[in-house]
């Protein structure tokens, strides 16, 4: 699946795992519940471990241990589900420095909003991705409000 | 009225081009229906390929003459020559061609208008008192805060996919004309004990399937904290609101399930994190926006006019209109003047291109070029000199815009119902006509006085039937239209939800049933007592007994 970082398609070394593929080598992204069940084992494995969270997860748990993960992926289970935008902002506010990745049902219309909410990586399904989507980032160039990006609210500019 | 600067203009211009490209790609088959759905909803465009509806934002009800003329032009050029004012003080076009919507948006942008966030699960147009800035009892003009909220909420990156739509209303004095208690967030401009002006904040009000009166979450919020507090509420809602069932997704359900105290705790905890950030509203910004809403340069000699008194004495039709359709202005010598969009036997809130032009001309000539829309689907010329009222009335009367029925039984708020809306369970327009015919005698209607009648064609309650003094809800019974009547609702300062009077009545019995309800009121009222006050005094039972008594 194409992964966008800094508005460019880059190669992706991470693999999302589930219960059955948990043992695989390399850099893996583990859903929160699965991570909590296998924490000791995962912390001692070779390769990096990232976390997958969604709107149903306990965000306090995520925020408390965020720092230890080089990558946190936030799932957008359906295009109507906008919880991921707020989750990203909370992580950024908590000082999270790793890769903050949006994944799931992601279409062109949300790309710029995701960037503004602090996502540093956006993963798009193969069947959805089109190269021209990249222009979505620059279609609207000015904003009224501040968000997790460096834009200041219009009244402070 | 607020005027766009470069930032504002650039944003709407870019938005037009963005949508133009999206529409082009959709029509070329490059965007799926689902993808396009999300995009068009954010631009106020509803439904299918062949008969879309475009909802244009009327920010807190404010329009100027240039804009009205542009809307008239759009109605003529791209639609069937008319438009419709909504209960959110927006304006809808019912028949634009999808291919032309980008052009319509470009036309709108040329007069500082847009259709951003007039649909979709995002923060909608903030509404307020149609008398903002011109009524004596207001604490402070609410419009600058509406504009500040408009800007902050426009294309807000975090809140474009809320669990459900989100509506904010502001009132600014003891009389609530903005139905703030039935909004997701209601803001009341208040003065605290120290004499500072700020906001009382209500949350979790709403109508629809589960009508709820909003609960106070904060008795006093300082002005500089307005945006941070709104952001805290909406972030808590975005993270915690239900997404499994769209009928339980509004913030009112979250507040009910959690309890207002627990909800407040979460909001306050979030607010503490963001109070001191960029969201803190500088006084300089408040002052900048306020400068757009300073009082007009009123004619100080307007009160010396004697022609009004003379015309009132000479012309009874004018006097009746004056008494019913104009309101005292805080400036001596001026009146706030309604334009009634509730003519006899025509759909409530509809306006033709010719009428739009005519109102634009009147506003320009007599009311500083501005017009307001009300949440009851009428228009207001807020600043008319006493000496000009007669001329204004004559023009309005010739255009069927001066029916002297504001605030009366025939000033009904009615949704388009089954004739137009795919969601409706029952038709409403024919019932409105039936009621109009039954209560055609204006003397009788005036004698009944203030009476708010709201009729919705389905449980989604677009016409707010729960808060009509009399509410009518269309229901479907085995393929037939039936109508359930509620009494005692109110969307004002003493907001209340109407109580169902009894079993629904058939379509041809609605006006007769209404007549019986009115008879109970007339037989029980004290002198000058409004319907709603009589109802509150005597309760539902006398109405119920009389309406459902076996025929003699």
Write out the DSSP string of chain A. --EEETTEEE---EEE--TTTTT--SEEEEEHHHHHHTHHHHHTSSS-EEEEE-TTS-HHHHHHHGGG-SEEEEEE-STT--HHHHHHHHHHHTT--SEEEEEES--GGGHHHHHHTT-SEEE--TTT--GGGGGGGGSS---SS--SSSPPPGGG-
Label residue B233 by pLDDT band (50, 70, 90).
Answer: very high
Query: How many Å lie between the alpha carbon of A104 and the closest alpha carbon of chain B?
Result: 14
Across the interface, which of A93, A113, A154 has its CB nearest the CB of B157?
A113
Nearest to B485 by CA among B456, B462, B522: B456
Q: Determine the average pLDDT of the residues in B104-110.
A: 98
Residues of chain A with pLDDT under 70: none
Separation between Cα atoms, residue B486 and residue B134, nearest integer Å? 33
Choose from B43, B157, B223 for mutation: most chain A CBs within 10 A. Answer: B157
Residue B81 DSSP code = S
Nearby residues of B204 by Cβ (< 8 Å), 6 or more positions away: B184, B212, B214, B215, B251, B252, B254, B255, B256, B260, B263
Across the interface, which of A79, A140, A156 has its CB nearest the CB of B38?
A79
Yes or no: say if B123 and B113 are a contact pair by the CB < 8 Å rule. no
pLDDT at B49: 46
Across the interface, which of A79, A113, A152 has its CB nearest the CB of B278?
A152
Separation between Cα atoms, residue B64 and residue B112, nearest integer Å? 10
Query: How many Å lie between the alpha carbon of A18 and the closest alpha carbon of chain B?
Result: 24
Nearby residues of B500 by Cβ (< 8 Å), 6 or more positions away: B484, B485, B486
Task: Collect all residues of chain B within an 8 Å Cβ-Cβ radius of residue A87.
Answer: 239
Separation between Cα atoms, residue B350 and residue B81, nearest integer Å? 11
pTM of the model: 0.96
Contact B158 A154 (CB under 8 A): no
Separation between Cα atoms, residue B83 and residue B54, nearest integer Å? 10
Find tokens 């000033």 and name the residue.
Answer: B411
pLDDT at B550: 82
pLDDT at B50: 52
pLDDT at B511: 97
Nearest to B432 by CA among B470, B394, B400, B401: B470
Nearby residues of B117 by Cβ (< 8 Å), 6 or more positions away: B42, B44, B57, B123, B124, B125, B153, B154, B155
Tokens read off for B388: 């000009």
Element (H, E) at B327: strand B326-328
Across the interface, which of B11, B152, B238 has its CB nearest the CB of A142?
B11
If interface means Cβ-Cβ distance under 8 Å, which residues of chain A face chain B?
Answer: 55, 59, 79-83, 85-87, 89, 93, 107-110, 112-114, 116-117, 130, 139-147, 152-156
Choose from A83, A105, A137 for mutation: most chain B CBs within 10 A. Answer: A83
Q: For B209-222, what is each residue's pLDDT tens digit?
A: 899 999 999 999 99
Task: Collect all residues of chain B within an 8 Å Cβ-Cβ radius of residue A109.
Answer: 35, 38-39, 42
Contact A82 B161 (CB under 8 A): yes
pLDDT at B149: 98
Nearby residues of B26 by Cβ (< 8 Å), 6 or more positions away: B35, B36
Across the interface, which of B42, B157, B239 has its CB nearest the CB of A83?
B239
Separation in Å, CA B459 to CA B34, B205, B445, B462, B474: 26, 16, 28, 8, 8
Contact B238 A108 (CB under 8 A): no
Label residue B393 by pLDDT band (50, 70, 90).
Answer: very high
Q: For B6-30, what is each residue's pLDDT tens digit?
A: 999 999 999 999 999 989 988 988 8
Contact A82 B18 (CB under 8 A): no
Separation in Å, CA A37 to CA A30, A33, B52, B268, B412: 11, 6, 51, 33, 61
Label residue B47 by pLDDT band (50, 70, 90).
Answer: low
Average pLDDT across chain B, whole number: 95
Tokens read off for B291: 């400068």
Residue B296, SS3 per DSSP:
coil
What percent of chain B has a predicted confidence (pLDDT) above 70?
99
Query: How many Å lie between the alpha carbon of B270 and the closest alpha carbon of chain A?
Result: 10
Nearby residues of B231 by Cβ (< 8 Å), 6 or more positions away: B152, B274, B279
Q: How many CB pairs under 8 A join A and B?
A: 101
Separation in Å, CA B26 to CA A50, B55, B104, B359, B470: 37, 20, 17, 37, 45
Query: How many Å lie between the alpha carbon of A108 and the closest alpha carbon of chain B?
Result: 8
Sign of the four-CA dihedral B134, B140, B142, B144: positive
pLDDT at B22: 87
Task: Collect all residues of chain B within an 8 Å Cβ-Cβ radius of residue A134.
Answer: none
Separation between Cα atoms, residue B415 and residue A70, nearest integer Å? 54
Dihedral angle, C-alpha B496, B497, B503, B507, nearest 10 °: 100
Task: Collect all residues of chain A within an 8 Å Cβ-Cβ radius of residue B147.
Answer: none
pLDDT at B52: 82
Task: Collect all residues of chain B within an 8 Å Cβ-Cβ radius of residue A80.
Answer: 121, 161, 243
Q: Which pairing describes strands B45-46 and B197-203: parallel, antiparallel, or unpaired? A: unpaired
Residue B113, SS3 per DSSP:
coil
Q: Determine the average pLDDT of the residues in B514-533.
A: 97
Separation between Cα atoms, residue B475 and residue B455, nearest integer Å? 11
Contact B238 A82 (CB under 8 A): yes
Answer yes or no: is pLDDT of B396 > 80. yes
Query: How many Å lie between the alpha carbon of B115 and the closest alpha carbon of chain A?
Result: 15
Residue B488, SS3 per DSSP:
coil
Label residue B55 by pLDDT band (50, 70, 90).
Answer: very high
Element (H, E) at B107: helix B101-109
Answer yes or no: is pLDDT of B44 > 90. no
pLDDT at B552: 57
Contact B160 A107 (CB under 8 A): no
């Amino acid at each position: 699946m194409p992964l966008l970082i800094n508005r460019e398609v880059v190669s992706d070394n991470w693999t999302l795992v589930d219960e059955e593929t948990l043992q695989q080598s390399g850099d893996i992204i583990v859903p929160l519940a699965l991570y909590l069940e296998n924490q000791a084992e995962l912390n001692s494995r070779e390769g990096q471990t990232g976390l997958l969270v969604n709107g149903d997860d306990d965000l306090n748990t995520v925020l408390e241990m965020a720092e230890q993960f080089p990558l946190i992926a936030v799932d957008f289970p359906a295009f109507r589900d906008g919880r991921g935008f707020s989750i990203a902002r909370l992580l950024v506010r908590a000082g999270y420095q790793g890769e903050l990745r949006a994944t799931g049902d992601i279409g062109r219309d949300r790309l710029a909003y995701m960037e503004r909410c602090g996502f540093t990586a956006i993963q798009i399904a193969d069947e959805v991705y089109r190269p021209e989507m990249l222009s979505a980032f620059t279609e609207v160039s000015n904003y009224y409000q501040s968000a997790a990006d460096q834009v200041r609210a219009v009244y402070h500019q | 009225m607020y005027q766009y600067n470069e930032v504002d203009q650039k944003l709407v211009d870019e938005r037009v081009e963005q949508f133009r490209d999206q529409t082009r790609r959709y029509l070329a088959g490059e965007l799926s229906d689902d993808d396009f759905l999300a995009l068009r909803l954010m631009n106020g465009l509803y439904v299918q390929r062949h008969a879309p509806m475009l909802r244009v934002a009327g920010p807190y009800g404010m329009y100027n003459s240039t804009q009205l003329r542009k809307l008239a032009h759009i109605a003529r050029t791209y639609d069937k020559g008319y438009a419709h004012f909504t209960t959110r003080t927006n304006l809808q076009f019912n028949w634009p061609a999808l291919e032309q919507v980008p052009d319509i948006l470009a036309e709108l942008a040329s007069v500082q208008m847009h259709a951003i966030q007039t649909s979709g699960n995002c923060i909608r147009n903030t509404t307020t008192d149609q008398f903002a800035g011109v009524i004596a009892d207001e604490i402070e003009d609410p419009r600058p805060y509406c504009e500040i909220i408009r800007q902050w909420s426009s294309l807000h990156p975090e809140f474009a996919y809320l669990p459900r739509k989100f509506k904010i209303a502001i009132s600014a004095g003891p009389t609530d004309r903005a139905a703030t208690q039935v909004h997701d967030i209601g803001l009341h401009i208040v003065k605290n004990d120290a004499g500072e002006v700020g906001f009382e904040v209500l949350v979790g009000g709403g109508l629809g399937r589960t009508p709820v009166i909003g609960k106070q979450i904060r008795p006093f919020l300082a002005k500089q904290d307005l945006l941070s507090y709104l952001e805290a509420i909406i972030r808590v809602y975005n993270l915690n609101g239900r997404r499994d069932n769209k009928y339980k997704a509004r913030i009112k359900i979250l507040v009910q399930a959690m309890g207002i105290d627990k909800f407040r705790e979460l909001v306050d905890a979030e607010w503490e994190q963001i109070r001191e950030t960029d969201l803190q509203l500088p006084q300089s910004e408040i002052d900048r926006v306020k400068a757009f809403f300073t009082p007009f340069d009123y004619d100080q000699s307007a009160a010396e006019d004697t022609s009004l008194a003379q015309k009132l004495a000479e012309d009874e039709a004018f006097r009746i209109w004056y008494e019913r359709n104009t309101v005292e202005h805080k400036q001596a010598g001026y009146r706030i003047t309604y334009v009634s969009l509730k003519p006899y036997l025509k759909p409530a809130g509809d306006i033709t291109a010719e009428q739009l032009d005519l109102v634009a001309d009147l506003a320009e000539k007599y009311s500083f070029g501005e017009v307001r829309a009300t949440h009851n689907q009428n228009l207001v010329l807020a600043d008319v000199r006493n000496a000009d009222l007669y001329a204004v009335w004559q023009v309005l009367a010739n255009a069927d815009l001066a029916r002297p029925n504001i605030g009366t039984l025939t000033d009904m708020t009615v949704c388009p119902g089954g004739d137009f809306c795919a969601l409706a369970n029952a038709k409403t327009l024919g019932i409105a006509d039936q009621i109009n015919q039954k209560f055609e005698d204006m003397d009788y209607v005036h004698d009944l006085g203030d009476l708010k009648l709201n009729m919705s064609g389905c449980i989604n309650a677009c016409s707010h039937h729960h808060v009509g003094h009399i509410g009518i809800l269309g229901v479907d019974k085995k393929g037939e239209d039936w109508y359930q009547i509620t009494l005692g609702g109110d969307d004002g300062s003493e907001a209340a939800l109407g109580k169902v009077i009894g079993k629904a009545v058939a379509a041809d019995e609605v006006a007769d049933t209404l007549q019986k309800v009115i008879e109970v009121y007339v037989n029980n009222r004290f002198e000058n007592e409004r319907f709603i006050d009589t109802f509150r005094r005597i309760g539902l039972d006398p109405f119920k007994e009389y309406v459902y008594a076996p025929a003699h």
